[in-house]
Structure 1
Amino acid sequence: MRWINRRPGRLVAFGLAALPFALAVLGYVIASDLRRAANPADKLLPAPAQILDTALSLATEADRRSGDVLLWLDTSASLIRLAEGALISASMGLVFGLLIGLIPGIRTTLAPFVSVISLIPPLAILPILFIVFGLGEVSKVALIAIGIAPVLIRDIAQRTAEIPEEMIVKAQTLGASTWAIITRVALPQVLPRLIGALRLSLGPAWLFLIAAEAIASTEGLGYRIFLVRRYFAMDVIIPYVIWITLLAFLMDLGLRQLHRRAFPWAGPAT
């Protein structure tokens, strides 16, 4: 049998999926042991036990100066910013995507503008956002929204334009208004696509969030990472990076489950 036709069973598939992670952990342990054998005071690759102890301390012990548990304080601040930015972006993507995809006049007016805006590197305008909105929460949320909204708009507009023409014609034949066509014909077709596009935008959204927090913030996951880097505190940075990865995975899993439960007719979320 050819390799392209061989499909692993459930147990083998689980083992194959876990193999790269196990190799990565093993490689880190070996590299850490070698560096600490040469220099016991090495900070670049702390021992796994040290990382675990620091992670537990960050998650359970209150900071001496503020009295807050840092990990949960930073997580709460970052997730609120991310949720606000993603919600604004999804709303803009849905509304403008539907209008651009369905109404020729709006498509002619806005499609070129959105295309150009989507090509601007969001991090390049971060200083402008700080000048216009200040160093508070608005500029951070705005960066996330500006960073991913144009991509969502273009994706939803494309999906709307792909709706079969006969569906639009039939709706008009039955007397449907423009509003009815948007809400009863187009909206159910593009909502599953919106969730998929939002899943793909989570990575860039985290990037914009961490960049904004690193430059101007007093709490947040990105702020903490860039704060402790000056002390070479890898035992803090590594747990934070792992925690951010876990949060991103759980958010992606949640959106995938939402897609499966809310739109079972749309097929699997890919």
Structure 2
Amino acid sequence: MESRPETSASASRAEHAVTLPDGAPKRWRLGIALWLLGTPGVVAVVWALLPPLAASQALLPIPLWAVLLLSGLQTAVMLALAVAVGVLLAPRVGLAAPVVSAWLAGGPGAQAAPARWLLPGVWGGIAGAAWLVALSAMAPEALRPAAATTDIGTVLVKLLYGGMTEELLVRWGVMTLVLWAAWRIVQRGNGAPRPGLIAVAVLVSAVLFALGHLPAAQAMAGALTAPVVLFVLVGNTAFGLLAGWLFARRGLEAAITAHVLAHALSMPLL
């Protein structure tokens, strides 16, 4: 009997990702778990929006509560779509959220996983923090904060939304979709994705990740000048490459760990 492509892809990647236990969780259970994992980031973003919107609520076309509700719903729906894409397509191209999957399945993988994903995630977080600190010295004047970040709303947005929700949106959703599409087009869905296709998916998702930071940069700088755009694209693409590599090699949880730690370790120094 001919093996299914997704089975072949997963088997070939087993040496790089955490081994999942027998009896992997049903898709809907994994989807709900990952969506709940990203939801605190959605709440953090809405909370951070409250003070500036409240200060100018007289200019809002609809009540403040409606603006906040719509903003939260929009992000929550985007998160749900990204989670669904990953749940449906990641197993076909050998990508996984191995720790969450092992936990839901109740298998031994949940206990054996840390050696496979935690240490790479920690090293990735240290490298990411060092990169963010180094970048801060080269930041255009318009993007340099007047003081170190101490506002709890900003901190939570960076840790919860940046570290967790963004990884679900960009890596679990976008990177998985890009890799699956390239695999279907180039290899016609046969065998495991080639290393070149994985590299393309990591790069594309990293660039899209960087582009997604331009609106925030514009709000902070007032205008998207060439130095601002170059700084944002180079800085975020570099970290996106690291997070994408961790996702491909060690699983989603390694990328999340690196992203959260990069922010947590660098914030006191910025």
TM-score, length of structure 1 as denominator length: 0.27
TM-score, length of structure 2 as denominator length: 0.27
